Amino acid sequence: MCHLATGPTCVATNKTVFCISRITPNRRESRADIGGDNLKGLLSGRAFHMNPINLTSNSIAFFGYGSLVNEFTWSRDYDSQPLEIRNWIREWRHCVDAPFGRTCALTVTRRQNSCLQGILIRCNADELVQIDEREIGYERVELSHQDVVSVVGNLPKQLYIYTSTQDYNRWGSWEYPIWFSYAEVVLYGYLKVFKKEGVDKFIRSTSGWTVPILDDRQTPRYPRISELPIEDRMFIEKKIQNIDGAKIHSI
C-alpha cells in the first residue's frame, strides 16, 4: 500500500534549463548548463520526439524521481511539492556517455502495485519545451492522474514523467557504473524531504543495486555535488553499504 510520507514542502527550481553547480546548503555556485533530472543535459546524441503540449496551458507539471528531489541542485524556484505515485518503479537502467565519463543513471518503468515517492514540479509550456530539448536519451510520457496516490491541491491537467529511450535503456555495468557522488546527491534529497524513512523507501523502490558503484567522492564526477553534514554523509554511506547485492568499488 502506498503512503505519502510527511515532510517539508519542497521549493523546487524554476529554471527552464538546469545548472551544473557545486553547492553547499547555504550557497549555490552555477558552473554550466545541464539538463534534466538524471544527467540528461550532459549527454550527447539526437533529440527525441516528445508528446505534444497545449501551448496555451499553464497547467503543466512533471514528476521528478532522482536528483531533482534534492533542492540544492536547483538554482531557481519552481512551484513544487512532494508526491507519491503508483504503478512505477525506479531502475539503475539508463547508460550514458557523459563528459565526465560513462555512467548509469536512474530511469523509471511501469510495474503494477509499486510505489514511488518524488516531487511534482509545476511549469508552463515554454519551460517544458526547453526542458524537452535538453532531455537527451529520455522521453516525456503522460503520467495518468490515476497513478497519483495523493496530492495537496488540484493536479495539473497535463502531467508527465521522463523515461529512458531504447538507445539508452540498459542496466548499468562495469563499463557504465553508478557514480557514488550521484547516488549520494539523490539520497540526500530524499533524506531532507522524506526523512530517514524516505531513504529506506527509495532503496526498496529502486531496482538494479547490483550495478557496480564507483566511489568517486574524492574526485566527484557528478557535477552537482553537495557538501553534506558529516552525520548525513555517514548515514547515506551506511545505507548504501547495507543494500543487499550492492558493492562499492574504489577508483
Residue 12, domain member (yes or no):
no
Q: 39-53, 56-70, 103-117: which has the minimum mean pLDDT?
A: 39-53
Is there a domain that residue 117 lies in?
Answer: yes
Share of the chain above pLDDT 90, in %: 57
- CA–CA separation, 12 and 68 (whole Å): 8
Report the number of distinct structural domains present in the chain.
1
Amino acid at 42: L
User: What's the pLDDT tens digit per position in 30-41?
Assistant: 333 333 444 444
Structural domain includes residue 239: yes
Residues of the chain with pLDDT > 70, as a percent, come to 74
Is 2 a member of any domain?
A: no
pLDDT above 90 for 22: no
> Within a domain: residue 27?
yes
Q: Which domain holds residue 214?
A: 18-250
pTM: 0.79
